[in-house]
Amino acid sequence: MQVRMILDAADVVGESAVWDDSRARLVWVDIVGRRIHRLDPVTGEHEIWPTPERVASIGLRVDGGAIVGLERRIALWEWGGPFRTICEVEPDRPDNRLNEGVVGPDGAFWVGTMQNNIGPDDEPRDIRADQGRLYRLTADGTLACVSDDRFGITNTLVWPTPDRLITADTLADTLYLYDIRNGRLENRRTFQSAFGRGLPDGSCLDAQGFLWTARVAGGACLTRSDPLGRIVAVVDLPCSWPTSCTFGGPDLATLYVTSARFTMTPDHLAGNPQEGGLFALEPGVRGRPAHRFGRKTEGTGSVEW
């Protein structure tokens, strides 16, 4: 399977890839680089917007704008406009920051926190405790914690069905499956663990219900797992820290992958300048369209926005 680098983004921590089907553009963030990207893969038009602080995640809204997880707050954003804060997350935990954030089939923005692993000078900082939790922000501005479970690094938020969630604790090298009842997560069980190459970061689902996961921290690959968590395929990548993935293109047949160069030495980057790039491949299956904040997926309820 051919994997090609389509943009030499040089992201410090590229993350949160999402396909905007209304504009035929790929959107993603660079957490440490404090910027949001938007790319037209056909023409190569590439837009970059700076953010006032580190930016952890981005999702699409039903009205055409975006919802953004910044370092400690969630904001509404029009492309190129100001960031309008909806809420601060965990104001009582100043040592935490936001990480993964994805719009779910319920039209809510689901986000995870973690102990901040980035110092004031943008250098790596050790995580000393499992302080991450998962939250759900609805379109009326209500933020609620959805589980009492704690995580080292919250990653992966995908819904095999509207009433089930797969999420990851990167530090635990484990993907978990939950049931969703009344907006809360219940009945946690292990979906997949101890693959042996890197650690699980961001994931997406294909149209067949199989899970694609970026294996960060030296994993240098994507895995494809069946609905029972069994790995059925491994795709090697020309980057050692893939971070997130999403299907895009007019028929959702292209799989896009972001990557990071965080913690890498100048000598390594001199020999591997593709680290932090944006990659694409055609895996032979199609993906699913992104959910939008403020609108429930058909069959799961009425419009909330």
The H-or-E segment that residue 266 falls in is helix 266-271
Structure tokens at 128: 């000393």
Give 78-87's long-range contacts (Cβ < 8 A, gap of 24+).
79/38, 79/47, 79/49, 80/49, 83/51, 83/52, 86/137, 86/141, 86/143, 87/137, 87/141, 87/143
- For this structure, is 173 an active site residue? no
Yes or no: say if 284 and 62 are a contact pair by the CB < 8 Å rule: no
Yes or no: say if 19 and 248 are a contact pair by the CB < 8 Å rule: yes
Residues 57 and 182: their CA atoms lie apart, in Å, by 25
Q: How many CB atoms lie within 10 A of CB 20?
A: 19
Residues 139 and 107: their CA atoms lie apart, in Å, by 7
DSSP tag of 151? B
Q: Decide: helix, strand or coil at residue 117.
A: coil
Structure tokens at 273: 């300048």
The 73-77 sheet, strands edge to edge:
83-88, 73-77, 66-70, 55-61, 292-293
Say which of 201, 236, 251, 267 is annotated catalytic: 201
Residues marked active site are found at 201
